[in-house]
Amino acid sequence: MDGKIVTIPGDGIGPEIVREACKVLDKIGKVYRHSFQYTPVLMGGCSIDEYGVPLTDEALETARKSDAVLLGAVGGDVGNSRWYDVAPDLRPEAGLLAIRKGLNLFANIRPAYLYGELADACPLKKEITGSGFDLVIMRELTGGLYFGERHTREVNGVMEATDTLTYNENEIRRIAVKAFSIAMKRRKQVVSVDKANVLDSSRLWRKVVEEVAKDYPEVELRHMLVDNCAMQLVMNPGQFDVVLTENMFGDILSDEASMITGSIGMLSSASLNETKFGLYEPSHGSAPDIAGKDIANPIATILSAAMMLRYSFDLDKEANAVEAAVQKVLTDGFRTADIMTAGGRQVGTSEMGDLIAENIK
């Protein structure tokens, strides 16, 4: 198979972690006889420096013509960077939102899985994690507060800022269908998260999710308010299989879910549209404070590349091989700084990539 991949290394630790993921993909190519061709494009702060905008139309078109996009991270230090002294739509993160919207990547899948080896890095007590957890957050990615109308203005001498949260039934239906179909391949449970005790958008969300549920009689559906879900994630994470939620809630809950796996450096993600095309990126940010020091954890990006093999290239065996290699390296005791615990063997970014590539069988 020939795969055309657009890489977006981005800012901060982005280039280092994307390099390691490509190393692992190349090893997959060698062992399983595929060829992956990479076309790098700029997005985020590096694109602002080069072109004055966080994402050029050309970069978006190059991404659109590829089979899949592998993204590192974009953005810098918000409080202390020239990239933030400009209008919001010219900031690095605007590039990320533009590519999500421009390529209609409405379904964001973020798996959170506790590796037995990382139980000591998990901040929760052993009584709580019990036999571990394995959940996925299905986050709506192209609607809600992120893309609603917004403005800041002065009203009677007082500054006022407005953001709007809108969902139509079609947007809710298509993400619900994705959540139920992925649940069918897992433990057949969906928890739909909303704030239906306050928000109209949540009440519509609940109604449409219930309609979709009728087409999946085998899947058990529960509704949960978002504040309760935030609490349940740290009280009993093992109860969740697929968590379906809107954009902003999903942003917040996925950081929480990632942290209980031991480190945000472990959480991969896939952003999909209705076709096989997808954008794959770690759920964490660009971590400018540790950029260029060879200490960032590349595992989230490597696991995102595994999701790319599975969802965009239908290469399940190869995706399993990447996941097994990550598991093996953790079992062997290798750790990057963020997941380091007593008895582990600490390695840097590129050594972690080498080890995972070597273990591709």
Give the closest residue to 343 by CA, choosing from 119, 130, 134, 20.
119
Give the closest residue to 205 by CA, choosing from 174, 229, 236.
174
Which candidate in 146, 167, 280, 311 is catalytic?
A: 146
Based on the shown chain and the rule CB under 5 A, indicate whether residue 246 belongs to the binding site for Mg ion: no
Q: Closest distance between Mg ion and the C-beta of residue 257, in Å?
A: 11
State the residue for tokens 């290239």: 313
Which of 16, 67, 93, 171 contacts ligand IPM by CB under 6 A? 93
Q: Which does 96 bind (CB under 5 to 8 A by kind): ligand IPM, Mg ion, none?
A: ligand IPM
Q: Closest distance between ligand IPM and the C-beta of residue 94, in Å?
A: 9
- Number of H-type helices and E-type strands within the chain: 12, 14
- Reduced to 3 states, what is the DSSP secondary structure of residue 9? strand
Based on the shown chain and the rule CB under 6 A, indicate whether residue 251 belongs to the binding site for ligand IPM: yes
Q: Is 74 in contact with 14 (CB distance < 8 Å)?
A: yes
Q: Closest distance between ligand IPM and the C-beta of residue 10, in Å?
A: 10
Based on the shown chain and the rule CB under 6 A, indicate whether residue 318 belongs to the binding site for ligand IPM: no
Q: Which of residues 51-90 bind ligand IPM (CB under 6 A)?
A: 75
Nearer to ligand IPM, 201 or 283 (CB): 283
Number of CB atoms found within 10 A of residue 199's CB: 15
Backbone angles phi, psi at 165, to 5 degrees: -115, 105
Which candidate in 11, 67, 251, 338 is catalytic?
A: 251
Give the closest residue to 38 by CA, choosing from 13, 54, 57, 15.
15
Q: What does the per-residue mask of binding to Mg ion show for 202-241, with x meaning CB under 5 A?
A: ----------------------------------------
- Reduced to 3 states, what is the DSSP secondary structure of residue 151? strand
Chain-centroid distance, C-alpha 115: 18
Q: Closest distance between ligand IPM and the C-beta of residue 75, in Å?
A: 6
Structure-token pair, residue 20:
């390691």
Based on the shown chain and the rule CB under 5 A, indicate whether residue 251 belongs to the binding site for Mg ion: yes
Q: What is the contact surface with ligand IPM in residues (CB under 6 A)? A: 75, 93, 96, 251, 283
Q: Which residues are catalytic?
A: 146, 195, 227, 251, 255
Q: What is the contact surface with Mg ion in residues (CB under 5 A)? A: 251
